Structure 1
């Protein structure tokens, strides 16, 4: 799976009165936002239950190749949710240095000699917490519960409203 392409950068749409600057001067660089996604240890994943109610869950995962990779049992509520409706929102913990990823989650797998090795290395950030999957953890028929979130839009700001930035991937 090749990395996602570089996103288009612009300002989000906010109601009048928020003080959002016009133009793109002062927006965040994608490399800066992506580094926050890589460095984070705790993420929040929001999905939608079949009856339309929201569901949020804290997740461990890694940002690699422009995507968020995480794993878990297929019987969990959030996995059952995204199997029915793959639309998700992924956020970091901070309410002041904000990164919001909107995208789609789908099941996948990773062969041990390629992506699996790179994922295993990236998941090393959780070793002290007792989680250190090996390169073959996601190579089985069911992919070891591996899922990937492919971003469609990312909103970010570290100094609201001056650096509010929207990144758009693909045709959205």
Structure 2
């Protein structure tokens, strides 16, 4: 089943430090989406079955339908018991935090789209396999996931223009 383009989110001022953020300019979704597309490294946070957090850096791509990544690590096992995930860009100056659900994807066309974006971005080609995984030329790889955002937070340098987008 091919995935669909995300609907445009609605922007609000978030709760910051326990209170509504002061009224002001909100960031545009284009601002956040550009950072998500251009980022090289992302941090994902999942939860172990016992409740302990698990956070790791991954490579991935932001496409029209959400955030794509592949992993064979503990995160994959965690996502089997809870599909809840947070994705964060590596920097802390222009922050974008995605909260959503990660679903394993095995549709060949969708995986090919992910691989077509991932390979050139990292100069590390990957390909879909018949078992629904993606792998590089050495055979290393794992399942691919699509993160569907529910809420995204962002703020510019010095925590200016804090914005909460909901889908």
Same fold (TM over 0.5): yes
Q: Does 1:162 align with 2:163?
A: no
Q: How does 1:90-129 map to 2 (within 5 A)?
A: 90-111=87-108, 114-123=109-118, 124-127=120-123
- The 1:80/1:13 distance shift into structure 2, 3 A limit, reads same
Structure 2: gaps (5+ residues)? 135-142
Secondary structure of the residue aligned to 1:52 is coil
Quote the residue 1:52 is aligned against: 51
TM-score, normalised to structure 1's length? 0.83
Structure 1: gaps (5+ residues)? none
Q: Is the 8 A contact 1:152 1:168 kept in 2?
A: yes
Quote the residue 2:125 is aligned against: 132
Residues 54-73 of structure 1 deviation map (CA, whole Å, 9 limit, x = unaligned): 00010001000140111122
TM-score, normalised to structure 2's length? 0.85
Residues 72-117 of structure 1 deviation map (CA, whole Å, 9 limit, x = unaligned): 22xx211000110110100001112111000011111242xx4344
- Give aligned pairs, total: 156
CA RMSD of aligned residues (A): 1.8
Secondary structure of the residue aligned to 1:140 is coil
Q: Report the Cα distance in structure 2 between the residues aligned to 1:16 and 1:54, rounded to whole angstroms.
A: 23
Q: Report the CA distance between 1:139 and its aligned residue.
A: 4.7
**Structure whose residues are more often strand by fraction:** 2
- The 1:160/1:21 distance shift into structure 2, 3 A limit, reads farther
Secondary structure of the residue aligned to 1:81 is helix
